[in-house]
Amino acid sequence: MYFMGIVIPMAVVTGFWALVGILGPFVVRRGPNQGIIRTMIVMTAVCCWAFWILVYLHQLNPLIGPQIPDID
């Protein structure tokens, strides 16, 4: 059950950014900066996905856990 709690959000977010990166360049109008705009859309999708996946995976296994004070 825990495994599905990890896989479903990863699949949904990865699918969303894949759609943005694949379909986004097709909505750009023709013009002198068409190639640059297409590149920006794809790179935005890649960077947003990479940032999200790194933050999400870091939260699964944090390096520093909560500090519980000793009560003596």
Neighbours of 44 (CB within 10 A): 14
With contact defined as beta carbons under 8 Å apart, do 52 and 10 qualify? Answer: no
* pLDDT single digits (tens) 24-51: 999 999 999 999 999 999 999 999 999 9
CA distance 23 to 21: 6
CA distance 63 to 59: 9
CA distance 62 to 12: 23
What is the per-residue pLDDT for 52? 95
With contact defined as beta carbons under 8 Å apart, do 63 and 39 qualify? Answer: no
